[in-house]
Structure 1
Amino acid sequence: MTLKEKVINRSYMTGTHVHLLDASVTEMLSYLGYDFIWLDMEHTQLSCEDAYHHLMAAKAGGTPVVVRVPADDLTITKKILEIGVGGIVFPMVRDYEHAKELISWTLYPPYGKRGCGPKGAVRYGLDTESEFYGKGHLEVCRFIQIEQKSAVLEAERIAQIPYLDGCILGMHDLSGSIHRLGDVFSEENLKLARSAITAFKSQNKSVGVSTTATDKKTLSLYHGMGINMIAAGADYSYIIEAAKGTLRTIKDIQGEGKIPPTWKGHR
C-alpha cells in the first residue's frame, strides 16, 4: 500500500523526524520500516538541495518522505513538490482561508494555482506531464498543521477542503497559542486537540501528531485520542540519548576503582 492509500484509509502509520543535514541519517532510518520520514525545513538549516539529497537517500530503503515546509513560503513549496516528495505539511495554519490558500499552491489548474514546472516529480520527462497535471499530482499527501487555537475554531470547515488529506497536531505551539507554552497536556490544550480530531475524523480524514517524545505513556495517550498517524522521536535525540548512555556506562566502570593496566614502554 502506498503512503497515499494508507492516509486515505486512515491506517495506523509511524514516522520519525529528520533535522540533521547529513542524508546518510535518512538512509539509515529508511531501512527500519517506518511508514514515512518527516523532513523538517521549518526549524532547521535544511535547504531545498539538502531535501533533495535526503529524498534520494530515503529511496534506498523505500521509505516515503513527508516534508514540513517553512510557513507561507510559495517558492520553497514549489521546489519541494517538484522533487517528488510523498507528502507536504504546512505549519502554523491560522484559519480556513489560510489553509485553503496553502492547499491551492499544491494543485494545478483547475484544481488550484500551482505553477507549472515539474522535474523530479515526473522523472525529468520520463512520465507524461499531461497525466501528471491531471490525476498524477493528486497523489501527493497534503496536510496542514493544527497548532493555533484560531485553526481549531475553524477545524470543521478546514477539514472539508478538497484534496486536503488530513491534519497534523502540533501540541507545543497549540499550547503557546493559549499562552501556556509547554503545558502540552493541560485540559484546555487537550480539549482543543480533541476538537480538531473530531472535525477531521468526521470527514474521514487522517489525523496525525508530531512529537519528539518516544516514551510509551505519551505515545499511548496520543493513540488513545484517536490519532492514526504518529511521527515521534528525532535523529539528533537518538544520537544524544545513545551517547549519554554510553558515557554513563563508561563512567560507571571507571568509578568502580579499577586501575587501568600499565602500558610498558609507552611514553
Structure 2
Amino acid sequence: MSFRVDPTFRDALAASRRPLIGMWVCSGSPLVAEICAGSGLDWLLIDAEHSPNGLESLLAQLQAVRGHPVTPLVRPPIGDPVVIKQYLDLGAQNLLIPMVDTAEQAAAAVRAIEYPPRGIRGVGSALARGSRWNRVPDYLHTARETIALYLQIESAEAVADVEAIASTPGIDGIFIGPSDLAASMGVLGEQDHPEVVAAVEHCLRAAAAAGVKAGLNAFAPALARRYLTAGADFILVGADVQLLARGSERLAADYIEEAV
C-alpha cells in the first residue's frame, strides 16, 4: 500500500485568495494543539525555540492536528542541519528557521532540507514518519516537493540583507519577527516603533520583489491589519499560552474582589 503526504504550506498559500491567519502553539500539549487546529484558523506555528517541546511532543502534536483543516509549521530552536533532519524525519513538512541573518545562512538551510547531491540531509527514510516509513512512492527523489522552507528575519543585520535572503534559491518565503527585530534595533519591547514598522514593511516589499511569500507576527490588531494591508501573505495573531494567560486573568479580575 502506498501513501501520500499532506499538501505543504506553500500549496496552501498558492491556493488561497487571501492572507492566511494563524496562531502560535507554545504549550507543548497535543490536546491544546488539537483544540487550536479545529478553531477555523488557517495555520498553526508549533514552536520549539521558546517553548517546552522535544521530538516526542512535536510528534504527538503533528499527529493530533493531522486531519484537521489547518496547516502546521514547526519552528526548531536553531537552524542546525541535524535538528532539521530530525524534524523532517518526524514528518514536519513546513519549517520556519529562526535567526537567519545572511544569505549564506539561508543557503545553508536550503542544503539542510535536500538530499545529496544538492544538499546534506541524511538518508533515513526507511525509519521515518516523514516518508511514512517508505510508503510514500519514490520519497527519496520527491521529498523536496513535500517540504516548504521559511526563514525568520529578526535582526537589523537580516533586514540589511533581506533582498539577498529572500532571493535565495530554494526558499519559499520569509517571516519577520518584530520582537527580536525591535531589540536588535535598540527599542526593546517597542514592536510598534516607527523604525521597526518601517523595517517590517521594507521586508514585505523585498519578499514581493523576490517572488516569495512573506509573513509576520502581530498580536496588536491595529498592527496586524496594517501589515495585512501592506501585503503580508500570512500572519500570526495570537498564541495558546497568551490566550490562556489573559483569559484566566480576566476571570480573576471579574470574580475576585480586591481586599478591603
Both proteins in one fold, TM over 0.5: yes
State how far apart, in whole Å, the 2-side matches of 1:21 and 1:58 are. Answer: 13
State how far apart, in whole Å, the 2-side matches of 1:132 and 1:33 are. Answer: 31
State how far apart, in whole Å, the 1-side matches of 2:93 and 2:41 are. Answer: 13
1:54 to 49, 56, 61: 61
1:220 to 220, 225, 228: 225
Contact 1:147-1:173 within 8 A present in 2 as well: yes
1:172 equivalent in alignment to 2:179: yes
State how far apart, in whole Å, the 1-side matches of 2:49 and 2:113 are. Answer: 18
Q: Can you give the 5+ residue segments of structure 2 that lack an aligned partner in the other structure?
A: 1-6
1:126 equivalent in alignment to 2:135: yes
1:183 maps to 190
Show the 5 A alignment for 1:1-267: 3-8=9-14, 11-118=18-125, 119-128=128-137, 131-211=138-218, 213=219, 215-251=220-256
Q: By how many angstroms is 1:45 displaced?
A: 1.7
State the number of aligned residues: 251
Q: By how many angstroms is 1:32 displaced?
A: 1.3
Q: Which amino acid aligns with 1:233?
A: G
Contact 1:14-1:34 within 8 A present in 2 as well: yes
Identity of matched residues, %:
24
Q: Which amino acid aligns with 2:253?
A: R
Q: By how many angstroms is 1:206 displaced?
A: 0.8
Q: Can you give the 5+ residue segments of structure 1 that lack an aligned partner in the other structure?
A: 256-267
State how far apart, in whole Å, the 2-side matches of 1:89 and 1:162 are. Answer: 16
SS at match of 2:23: strand
1:262 maps to none
Q: By how many angstroms is 1:249 displaced?
A: 2.7
1:264 maps to none
**What value does the CA root-mean-square deviation take over the aligned residues?**
2.1
Contact 2:95-2:148 within 8 A present in 1 as well: yes
State how far apart, in whole Å, the 1-side matches of 2:242 and 2:158 are. Answer: 30
Larger radius of gyration: 1
Deviations, residues 34-72 of structure 1 (Å, cap 9, x unaligned): 221101100112101110011011114242211111123
Contact 2:131-2:139 within 8 A present in 1 as well: yes
State how far apart, in whole Å, the 1-side matches of 2:210 and 2:14 are. Answer: 11
Deviations, residues 205-259 of structure 1 (Å, cap 9, x unaligned): 1110024x1x43122122122111011211111112222222233236x99xxxx
